[in-house]
Amino acid sequence: MKIVKVKNLKKYYGKDENLVRALDGINFEVEEGEFVCVIGTSGSGKSTLLHMIGGLDRPTDGNVLINNKEILKLKDDELTIFRRREIGFVFQQFNLIPILNVYENIVLPIELDGNKIDKNHVDLVIKALGLESKIYNLPNNLSGGQQQRVAIARALATKPSIVLADEPTGNLDSKTSQDVMGLLKTMSQRFNQTIIMITHNEEISQMANRVVRIEDGKIISKAVNE
């Protein structure tokens, strides 16, 4: 099943001589359970694309379908609910709450939504990410790689349809980046979790199932790895 369909997506900023075509007719689809990397140089439109797929911003033209639902037709409040329910975000900055321990950080989005915590699922995610011995730690006592694992656990805990990750390895050294990528790949296989991740790092992108290459707001190639 195609869980994400992006159709002729355009996002323009500014106008006249200041017009920037950040996205200029993007088409692509993602299978359920696929781990896709979007790669491109700085300013190529990667973040803008991720924001549109996640319903964080609205395009100039085009469509995004998630689970066959046209998300851009939703009103702002419906879009917020949709985003909380269906999307898990991971960013370069881990955005953990310093006064909450690891476990509290991981379940916070579930609690904020007023949902019941599926303890079995949360425990599975914590174990899969190797965080069992860290659940009572405060984020400041963890390494960068561990903090990013917590952020990934938090994104997975709500059982989102898709995880959107914006340069999640951007603040990590090369060894830790490889480890985090390995874990993301394991998560996608283990939980049939669809992941769309952006990076500008070639080596990192090779660990995904597929690499979508973007330049000047256009897709220039879609390559399957291995």
Binding site for ligand ADP (CB under 6 A): 13-14, 20, 22, 40, 42-48, 166-167
CB of 43 to ligand ADP, least distance (A): 4
What does the alpha-carbon distance between residue 90 and residue 170 come to, in Å, rounded to a whole number? 11
Cβ 167 to ligand ADP shortest distance, Å? 6
Closer residue to ligand ADP, CB minimum distance, 110 or 181: 181
| Structural tokens at position 209 | 């199932």
- Least separation in angstroms between residue 20's CB and ligand ADP is 5
From residue 104, alpha-carbon distances to 36, 89, 109, 116, 144 in Å are 29, 17, 9, 14, 18
In the complex, the smallest distance separating the C-beta of residue 190 from ligand ADP, rounded to whole angstroms, is 27
In the complex with ligand ADP, the residue whose CB is nearer, 43 or 130, is: 43
User: Is residue 140 a contact partner of residue 173, using CB atoms and an 8 Å limit?
Assistant: no
CA pseudo-torsion sign 63, 23, 45, 74: negative
| CB nearer to ligand ADP: pick between 40 and 55 | 40
Amino acid letter at 94?
F
> Of 14 and 130, which CB lies nearer to ligand ADP in the complex structure?
14
